[in-house]
Amino acid sequence: MTTRTFRVTVRGVFDGLDADQRAELLARAPEHDVLRAAFTPEGHLSYDLAARPAFTFRFVDSGEAEEDILEAVERAEAAATAWLTERGYGFKRLKSQAEDLSQAPLGKRQKRAIAQNTP
């Protein structure tokens, strides 16, 4: 069997932050900037609290079957929830979206590379 790669995005909104929590998040904002966003196994958090209270976690996971994407979403949501809860950050409206990269359409460069390697 081949291994499938999944990208999972967990979005939500900070809720009920006190002044200290907000200051802490603002101080750490450069390391959580959307321009540094990446899909990682441990999850990467990005937000722009000065603009709005929304956040996004990006996870990469894998599985062998198409159905494994559901477990990947559950793991991502649990990891995001744990991270926020451990730090005492309130949140609401968690929504997840997942993509199986084996099902993603090929880009122009990928199509060109395949065409060049085909006899």
pLDDT in tens, 51-107: 999 999 999 999 998 889 999 999 999 999 999 999 999 999 999 999 998 877 667
* Collapsed DSSP state (helix, strand, coil) of residue 113: helix
Could you tell me the residue ranges of all domains in the chain? 4-117
CATH 2.60.40, domain 4-117, yes or no = no
Q: How far is CA 60 from the centre of its chain?
A: 7
- Tokens 């809860």 belong to residue: 85
Alpha carbon 35 to its chain's center: 14
Residue 118 is predicted with a pLDDT of: 63
Closest listed residue to residue 49, CA positions, set 72, 68, 31, 74: 31
For residue 82, count CB atoms less than 10 angstroms from its CB and return exposed for 0-12, middle for 13-18, buried for 19 or more: exposed
pTM for the whole thing?
0.84
Cα 47 to the chain's mean position, in Å?
12
Number of Cβ within a 10 Å radius of residue 66? 12
